[in-house]
Amino acid sequence: MVCSPGSRWIFDLGGGAFVTAICQSHLPIRPWAEPRTSRLPGLNPVAPGQWLLVDDAYAPQMALRERLLVDRPDEVLRVSPGAAPAARDLLSQILAELAGSPDYRIAETAVVCPDGRRVALDFAAPLETAARLVQEDLVLMQKPPGMDEHVLTAAALCFPASWSLAEKFLRPLTGIHGPVEAYDADLARRVQRLFDGIRPGRPIWRANALVYADPALFQPRTEADRRPVPPEGARWLRVERQCLARLPETGAVAFTIHTYVVPFESLDPEDRVAFSGAEPVA
């Protein structure tokens, strides 16, 4: 394994093959090992100032996000007409959160980001603007009048972990989780109660971890187009820190996803043992 400067790591797979991965230097959370995350439902209150995080992969992750927003906007950005007010609400809340961070400099018309980029504040395109500021993917869930479930009405999803924004867009929670075998009627009711019960100013978070054979952050897949498990080889651990926050002006729920990727071999021996029976996820 050869590490290049920053957080772009170059891995020697043997036989003259190399792969470049955007990785963090370490995992700040270990969902499989910590009682607060390993025990279902694994929900925790977000500490003040910890909703949106900046880590050592910020610059390369944001460079990739920028490229996807420019080159593949139809795949990573969707906003339904009715979600525009919620998207503006989300941008306002993100700016309020970032105002307390020493990593950002916020002015009236622009934000200087931790990597030195200057992002113009465009409230006519609030979700795209927000996506250029933070590492988190941003998903808006709203409960339309007369419906019993929250619906995915907008998202900036640059780092999907084997799902497709185009496929899930405008689906309710049960439709989004259709392929999940454990998502039965009882679990669906509990998840909906959770969404209904989130209060403004009191976000919550959970985390998951999956072993992947490919370190790529952008891995969209439809429900029908499941790639086969690749041959045994280099593996990566992908951890998502997922937050749910109620937006105060519109009542929409913001689902944010901070993605960590580290080489499997970088884990401590006891952590590798915890995943010894896991198959790589393509």
Q: What are the distances in angstroms from CA 210 to CA 71, 184, 207, 273?
A: 28, 22, 10, 14
How high is the pLDDT of residue 11? 53
Closest by CA position to 169, among listed 240, 66, 238, 82:
82
Q: What is the DSSP letter of 189?
A: H
Among 124-128, 155-159, 235-239, 246-250, whose mean pLDDT is lowest? Answer: 235-239
Bridge partner list, 152:
141
The 10s digit of each residue's pLDDT in 101-155 is 999 999 999 999 999 999 999 999 999 999 999 999 999 999 999 999 999 999 9
List strand residue ranges (DSSP E) for 115-203, in order: 118-120, 137-142, 151-156
Mean pLDDT for the stretch of residues 175-184: 81
Question: Collapsing DSSP states into helix, strand and coil, what is residue 23?
Answer: coil
In this prediction the pTM is 0.92
**Is the Cβ–Cβ distance between 79 and 156 less than 8 Å?**
no
d(CA 57, CA 259): 10
Closest by CA position to 67, among listed 103, 122, 117:
117
Average per-residue pLDDT for the chain: 89
Mean pLDDT for the stretch of residues 259-272: 91
**Is the Cβ–Cβ distance between 77 and 130 less than 8 Å?**
no
Among 35-49, 69-83, 84-98, 133-147, whose mean pLDDT is lowest? Answer: 35-49
Q: Which amino acid appears at position 44 of this protein?
A: N
Mean pLDDT for the stretch of residues 68-83: 97
Residue with the bigger pLDDT between 218 and 188: it is 218
pLDDT for 163 beyond 90: yes
d(CA 14, CA 49): 43
**Neighbour-count burial for 45-77, b at 16+ CB within 10 Å, e otherwise:** ebeeeebbbbbebbbbbbebbeebbeeeeebbb
Phi and psi at residue 227, to the nearest 5°: -70, 145
**Is the Cβ–Cβ distance between 41 and 244 less than 8 Å?**
no
Phi and psi at residue 86, to the nearest 5°: -65, -35
pLDDT for 282 beyond 90: no
How high is the pLDDT of residue 49? 97
How high is the pLDDT of residue 274? 76
pLDDT bracket for residue 221 (50, 70, 90): very high
List strand residue ranges (DSSP E) for the chain, in order: 2-3, 8-14, 17-22, 44-45, 77-79, 105-106, 110-112, 118-120, 137-142, 151-156, 204-212, 236-246, 253-263
How high is the pLDDT of residue 71? 96
How high is the pLDDT of residue 3? 42
Exposed / middle / buried, residue 212 (Cβ in 10 Å: 0-12, 13-18, 19+): buried
